[in-house]
Structure 1
């Protein structure tokens, strides 16, 4: 007769439950994997599959009851860890979208916006296009596999336990989020400089030839020059984006160590 006590039952349940919570929280916030266009059932199924693969390789988890205060604390802790690591990688794509917003504003395309189901808000068309290019580059360079490998590594560096996490990991995320404006401006800077020079030239021209309508001439010129520059610059953003992805994965490691 095989007998199973409560401690063994909790051990088997927790060996799957707590890794699943961290993985599901990461997949809900990470880029590519957490897109709104992916069905929720597919996300949950992938999270269950990864948890089943990862759980046997982890150390024995604490034997607290999942319904106890300690068990709920561990669930909340694993959820926060997954969300934190997912948001760190989400910043990488926020950089590209911010650059698209800056460029669209200078080109005069800021009014051309539509509802983006990924962000749940109105997004400039150019920002959406650059985000799609970034997604294709991310998949082409196997960024999704590197991201998952770095995340699974977190179970070794930050094992599941009832010990509280350090708030220094949140400080790492806040510091990394500054790259949204810094790197976004650097990515858009070549086009912004050229388009700003055109705006200054048209302003001087308007002062010398006041009968010339800048609003009638300036918009087509800025739009045409901006499209030509995008045709030249977009194929060259791959090295910049690759370095940004590497920095995001390294930031995940720093956040794990800080936690």
Structure 2
């Protein structure tokens, strides 16, 4: 008959619980897996499966009762680390959504926003288009597998037993968050330039022929020019999204201070 001591049971529970908490935290906010359309049972089942594969290869964990104060502190730490990793993964998608919103604002379609239950938040038409395109590109590039790879490697550069520098991690995330605006501007730059030329043209026409009803012809013409530019630049935007997604996921270990 196999006899197990309470210390052994606590060690086995800790070896499974601590990584599971981090993985669940990542899956709750990560792109694709964190969308509202993914059932919670799927996330939990996938998290348990990954934990069973990852747990045996983890470094030795501290001998702590998961129900004690120290154990609960480690659980809270893993939640924070997991949310930080998931948030960092989602930043690039936020940049792409922001680029779509900027484009709609330039085209005059900023008012055509609707509630997106997948986010959940309000979303414009081009922002939704870019979000779907980015998701398809991400899946085509095996981005979901990259998320799992980054997640499993995170136990090497952010071990469970080690306490990360909260201030340094927060500072790094804020600095990387500033890049969101730069990436969004880079994606939306062709449309911004095209709309600037269009508006300047309307300004010249208004000065040359004041009798023109700019309001009547300006909006449909601006939308038409914007759609033409969007169609022409979509292949380039897709290639740019592909490079940005791969570079961003590959840079995550460096963002979190991995050596």
**Shorter-normalised TM-score: what interval?**
over 0.9
Q: How does 1:211-222 map to 2 (within 5 A)?
A: 211-222=211-222
Deviates more, 1:76-85 or 1:199-208: 199-208
Give the structure 2 partner of residue 201 of structure 1: 201
In 2, the alpha carbon distance for the partners of 1:171 and 1:7 equals 39
Shift of 1:257: 2.2
SS at match of 2:38: coil
Give the structure 1 partner of residue 84 of structure 2: 84
Native 8 Å contact 1:95 1:181 kept in 2:
yes
Q: How does 1:12-91 map to 2 (within 5 A)?
A: 12-91=12-91
Instruction: Report Cα offsets for 1:135-160 as digits up to 9, x if no partner.
Output: 00111111221222122111122221
Native 8 Å contact 2:93 2:131 kept in 1:
yes
- After TM superposition, the score normalised by the length of structure 2 is 0.95
In 2, the alpha carbon distance for the partners of 1:159 and 1:103 equals 42
Unaligned runs of 5+ in 2: none
Native 8 Å contact 2:104 2:126 kept in 1:
yes
Matched, 1:165 2:164: yes
In 1, the alpha carbon distance for the partners of 2:256 and 2:7 equals 29
In 2, the alpha carbon distance for the partners of 1:197 and 1:91 equals 31
In 2, the alpha carbon distance for the partners of 1:179 and 1:246 equals 15
Native 8 Å contact 1:113 1:125 kept in 2:
yes
Instruction: Report Cα offsets for 1:36-61 as digits up to 9, x if no partner.
Output: 11111111111111111111111232
- After TM superposition, the score normalised by the length of structure 1 is 0.95
Task: Say if 1:153 and 1:258 are closer, same or farther in 2 by CA, change over 3 A.
Answer: closer
Native 8 Å contact 1:166 1:258 kept in 2:
no
In 2, the alpha carbon distance for the partners of 1:41 and 1:201 equals 55
In 2, the alpha carbon distance for the partners of 1:207 and 1:150 equals 57
In 1, the alpha carbon distance for the partners of 2:6 and 2:164 equals 27
Shift of 1:258: 6.2
SS at match of 2:219: helix
Unaligned runs of 5+ in 1: none
Shift of 1:251: 3.4
Native 8 Å contact 1:203 1:214 kept in 2:
no
In 1, the alpha carbon distance for the partners of 2:147 and 2:64 equals 30
Deviates more, 1:120-129 or 1:132-141: 120-129
RMSD of the TM alignment (CA)? Answer: 1.5
Deviates more, 1:83-92 or 1:248-257: 248-257
Native 8 Å contact 2:133 2:238 kept in 1:
no
Instruction: Report Cα offsets for 1:156-205 as digits up to 9, x if no partner.
Output: 222211x4320212211111111221110111001110111101110221
Q: How does 1:146-165 map to 2 (within 5 A)?
A: 146-161=146-161, 163-165=162-164
SS at match of 2:256: helix
Give the structure 2 partner of residue 6 of structure 1: 6
Number of aligned pairs?
Answer: 258
